[in-house]
Amino acid sequence: MAKRGKNYRAALAKVDRDKLYELQDACGLVKETSYSKMESSVDLAVNLGVDPRHADQNIRGAIPLPHGLGKKVRIVVFAKGEKATEISDLGLEFVGGDDLAKKISDGWLDFDQVIATPDMMGAVGRLGKVLGPRGLMPNPKLGTVTFDVAAAVSELRAGRAEYRVDKAGIIHASVGRVSFSAEHLNDNIKAVIDALVKAKPSTAKGTYLKKICISATMGPGVRVDPAPFKN
C-alpha cells in the first residue's frame, strides 16, 4: 500500500473510522479534513443492495441539486435548422451538427456536458467511443436527448448530480464544493439519497442502502449513518 502524505494522515486522524456519523456532522467533518490547496469537490459514494447485471437494477439518473455544484458547466449542443437558431441566444460554447461531430472526433473535448436533439442522435451515435467512456454521451434518461434544449441547459447550469451504479453496486456523485456550508452540502446529499431511495427496484432484496460515505478531493472518507434514510 502506498504511503500517505502527512497532510492526509493528519486529516485521517480527525475521523473515527468505526463511527457512522449523522449527515450534518459528516458534512462539517469533510470540510474540516479537506487540505487541498485547490477548491475541492465533495463526493458521495453509496453502496446499494442491487445486482447491476439485471437491467431493472442498473440504476441511473440525474437530480437537480438545491444548491447546485458550485462550478461553471461548459455545454455543447447537437442541433440543426430552426432548433439551432432558436437556441442561439443561450450563450452556449458550441452548437452544431456534423461539423461539431468532426471537431470532437478530431480530439476537441473542451466541454463538460453534451445535449442533443433526437434528430441528431445519428451523428452523435458515431461518437460513442469518444463520449461514452467519459460519461458524456447524451441520454434520454438524463434529459440530455430532448427538443427542449433551453430547459436542459437551464438545469445543467443550475447544477445537478448524475449517478450510475457500477459493477460493484456503488453509486458515485459529485454533490458540491468544500466552500459550501455544511447545511448546503447536507441538503444536496439528501436530495441525491432521496432520489436513490425512490429509484429502488422492486426486485432488489435485502438491505438497499448498505453504506454511505462522503469525502473531499484527496481527503479521507467519512462514513454516514444510512438508518435515517431507510424509511
pLDDT at 95 over 70: yes
What's the pLDDT at 1?
A: 45
CB-side neighbour CA atoms (13 Å) of 162: 16
In which residue are the cell numbers 458550441 written?
94
Amino acid at 135: G
Statement to judge: residues 170 and 154 lie in one domain: no
Report the pLDDT averaged over residues 64-85.
Answer: 90
Q: Is residue 6 part of a domain?
A: no
One domain for residues 96 and 62: no
54 and 93 in a single domain? The answer is: no
Q: Is the separation of the CB atoms in 137 and 164 below 8 Å? A: no
pLDDT of residue 51: 92
- Looking at residue 2, its pLDDT comes to 57
d(CA 71, CA 86) in angstroms, rounded, equals: 26
Q: What is the pLDDT of residues 168-195, one digit of tens each?
A: 999 999 999 999 999 999 999 999 999 9
Whether residues 90 and 147 share a domain: the answer is: yes
Say if 42 falls within a structural domain: yes
